[in-house]
Amino acid sequence: MAAPEDSSQPRLAAGCRWGAETKGASGPERVVLFPEGAIKLQGTGLQILERCDGQRTFGEIIAELQAQFTVADPGKIRGDISQFLEQLRNKRIVDY
């Protein structure tokens, strides 16, 4: 599947939903429930997926995270987020 374009609006796929938020040893954790199971998210993965609300564009998500992580290479941030969303799209957890 193709990488998201800047105008894409990532969101949880049909049949997927957020589960409860818990406190893990390394900070807040959330679970995404999907037909085949569940995945636990924390850290950067959680920050990315929480922004995938169907309202923000991929470009806006990238800009927000680049502004938050100013010491990281902007190109690496874009590539990592794109790869993360592609993996979730292949598992039918995210649509865009």
Kindly state whether residue 27 falls inside one of the protein's structural domains: yes
Tens digits of per-residue pLDDT, 22-71?
Answer: 877 777 789 999 998 999 998 899 999 999 999 999 999 999 999 999 99
Domain CATH for 65:
1.10.10.1150
Domain assignment present for residue 42? The answer is yes
Range of the domain at 87: 12-95
The pLDDT of residue 79 is 95
Within a domain: 69? yes
The pLDDT assigned to 49 comes to 96
Give me the number of domains the chain comprises. Answer: 1
Q: What whole-number distance in Å separates Cα of residue 13 and Cα of residue 95?
A: 5
pTM of model > 0.85 = yes
Give the tokens for residue 73.
């290479």
Q: Residue 7: inside a domain, yes or no?
A: no
Residue 3 resides in a domain = no
Structural domain contains residue 24: yes
pLDDT for 80: 95
For residues 21 and 29, the answer to whether their CB atoms sit within 8 Å is: yes
Using CA of residue 86, residue 53, residue 55, residue 95, what is the dihedral sign? positive
87 pLDDT higher than 90: yes
